[in-house]
């Protein structure tokens, strides 16, 4: 049975043993469920936070259109053994207009940070509040938001939170599109075009695995397949520092973003060079339709 509460104090009152937190903005898909399952396997108690954080939205229309259904989400969380969902309202999370922001310099500067001013400060601020208020031992984040993962890791290190940040593989829909709650808003006629993002990343991953190390060649491969899309960026970056890499000579991710109709899509492949080659983590792929469309 999953307990639903709305305050940090109530959540803490239920806390027991090693607590694994999965921070979310709700409207769950298999990406979220995979984080919850991982936490279930590694922790005594699994907590999920469910809060659409206004601080991290740079466009009011995007915030207003963000899909929400708490009861659906609690049922899905229960299906994977989550102990507690904490779903604070905006008034509980921000009782007064917050003027404090946690900014993570450097890691936040490129890509999403450059295109969505204030976005990562909003993310880092709310995650810091979740860590302080819920006091988890571990917190689980998807590699779909690879730059966010780097920001959260650095914030956790700099502020000294005693939380182990666990990065988990991205999950793709059956056609390859990276799972995102926003996918329900992709106009059907643009879906095929959106898949160019995935095709480009897979082509670049193939190239890296067959020996290509030049950042510009890997980026060009990703761009070529996505030629029908208006790309915001294609960048090969250091996985921890999020600085641009001219050569794939350390753990990295190749990230892409594009506006597809009313929504922005982001995606990436994780590339890890080793002595005898490169391992590309393309993410897991569903063999059925996502729960997003139920």
Q: List the catalytic residue out of 14, 29, 32, 119.
A: 32
Q: Does 197 bind ligand PAF (CB under 6 A)?
A: no
| Binding footprint of ligand PAF, residue count (CB under 6 A) | 10
Q: Does 25 bind ligand PAF (CB under 6 A)?
A: yes
| Closest distance to ligand PAF from the beta carbon of 209 (Å) | 28
32 tagged catalytic: yes
Using the rule CB under 6 A, which residue among 8, 19, 21, 23 binds ligand PAF? 23
Cβ proximity to ligand PAF: between 25 and 84 the closer is 25
DSSP letter for each residue of 214-274:
BHHHHHHHHHHHTTTS-EEEEEEEETTT--B-SB--SSEEEEEEEEETTEEEEEEEEEEEE
How far, in whole angstroms, is CA 83 from its chain's centroid?
22
State the CB neighbour count (10 A cutoff) for residue 40. Answer: 16
How far, in whole angstroms, is CA 50 from its chain's centroid?
14
Site string (246-285) toward ligand PAF, x via CB under 6 A: ----------------------------------------
In b/e form, how buried is each residue of 83-110, taking b as 16+ CB within 10 angstroms? bbbbbbeeeebbeeeeeeebebeebbeb
Cβ proximity to ligand PAF: between 2 and 49 the closer is 49
- Taking CB under 6 A as the binding criterion, the range among 1-9, 119-127, 164-172, 185-193 that sits at the site for ligand PAF is 119-127
State the CB neighbour count (10 A cutoff) for residue 215. Answer: 19
CB of 136 within 8 A of CB of 161?
A: no
| Closest distance to ligand PAF from the beta carbon of 214 (Å) | 31
How far, in whole angstroms, is CA 260 from its chain's centroid?
18
Binding site for ligand PAF (CB under 6 A): 23-25, 53, 56, 123, 126-127, 145, 148
Residues marked active site are found at: 32
């Amino acid at each position: 049975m999953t307990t639903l509460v709305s305050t940090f104090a109530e959540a803490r009152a239920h806390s027991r043993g090693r607590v694994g937190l999965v921070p979310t903005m709700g409207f769950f898909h298999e990406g979220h469920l995979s984080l919850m399952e991982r936490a279930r396997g590694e922790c005594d108690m699994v907590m999920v936070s469910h809060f659409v954080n206004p601080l991290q939205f740079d466009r009011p229309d995007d915030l207003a259109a963000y899909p929400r259904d708490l009861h659906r989400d609690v049922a899905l969380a229960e299906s994977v053994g989550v102990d507690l969902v904490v779903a604070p309202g905006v008034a509980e999370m921000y009782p007064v207009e917050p003027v404090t922001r946690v900014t993570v310099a450097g890691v936040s500067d490129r890509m999403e940070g450059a295109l969505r001013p204030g976005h990562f400060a909003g993310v880092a601020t709310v995650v810091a509040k979740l860590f302080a208020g819920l006091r988890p031992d571990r917190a689980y984040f998807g590699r779909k938001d690879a730059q966010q993962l780097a920001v959260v890791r650095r914030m956790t290190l700099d502020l000294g939170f005693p939380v182990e940040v666990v990065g988990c593989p991205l999950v793709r829909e059956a056609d390859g599109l990276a799972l995102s709650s926003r996918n329900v808003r992709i106009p059907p006629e643009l879906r095929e075009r959106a898949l160019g993002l995935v095709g480009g990343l897979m082509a670049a991953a193939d190239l890296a695995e067959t020996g290509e190390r030049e950042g510009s060649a890997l980026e060009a491969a990703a761009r070529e397949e996505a030629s029908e899309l208006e790309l915001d960026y294609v960048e090969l970056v250091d996985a921890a520092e999020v600085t641009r890499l001219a050569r794939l000579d350390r753990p990295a991710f190749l990230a892409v973003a594009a506006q597809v109709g009313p929504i922005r899509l982001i995606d990436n492949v994780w590339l890890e060079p080793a002595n005898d080659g490169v391992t590309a983590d393309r993410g897991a792929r569903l063999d059925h339709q996502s729960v997003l469309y139920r």
